Amino acid sequence: MKGTPVKTFAMLVVALLVAGPVLAQPAGAVTPPAPKAAGTATVEARVDQRITRMHQQLKITSEQETAWNAFAQVMRTNVTSTDEAYKKRSESLATMTAPDNMTNFAQIEQARAQGVENLATSFQALYNTMSDDQKKAADAMFRHYGNHGAAHKQTSK
């Protein structure tokens, strides 16, 4: 399945930051939130680290800061809302009926899809302000994430 580099990247950012650990749980597993040990990065801290790293790699200029900040805020909002939705799901999973479980999961996935669309839109606005060198760097970065996902799917069969 081919997508634009922006959409591919956006979907992978959200998936890698949030869904992996949650979806790996066995069916019916209810995992209480882990206590935060000293030095353990929160979801918010991890996304902020990712944002900082991307800012540096893409060499965002002062003229691009407004578009960059909008993109970064969408990343933060998506990760926070998805994390909260999965925590809420985890807390009530033990008492959900099978249809409730499926409906809840569908609602989460619909919200995630909307978040990815918002992320793609905000990144497109930023991408439109980039120099050719920045676009090349962004394209290479997105391909890297896209190849990681494809390699994972091939090895997990």
> Tell me: the pLDDT tens digits for 9-66?
444 444 444 443 333 333 443 333 444 444 446 888 889 999 999 999 999 999 999 9
Written as six digits, the tokens of 13 are 């950012």
Whether 123 maps to a domain, the answer reads no
Contacts of residues 87-94 at CB distance under 8 Å and 24 or more positions apart, as own/partner, are 87/33, 90/22, 90/30, 90/31, 90/32, 90/33, 91/30, 93/28, 93/29, 93/30, 94/28, 94/30
Number of domains composing the chain? 1
Whether 54 maps to a domain, the answer reads yes
- Look up the pTM and report it: 0.67
Whether 73 maps to a domain, the answer reads yes
Whether 117 maps to a domain, the answer reads no
**Single-letter amino acid code for the residue at 63:** E
Q: Quickly count: other Cβ atoms within 10 Å of residue 25's Cβ.
A: 13
Q: Domain of residue 48: give its range.
A: 42-60+69-93
Whether 56 maps to a domain, the answer reads yes
On the question of pLDDT at 143 being above 60, the answer is yes
Say which residue, 155 or 76, is predicted with more confidence. 76
Whether 155 maps to a domain, the answer reads no
Instruction: List alpha helices for 59-131, DSSP H.
Output: 65-92, 98-127
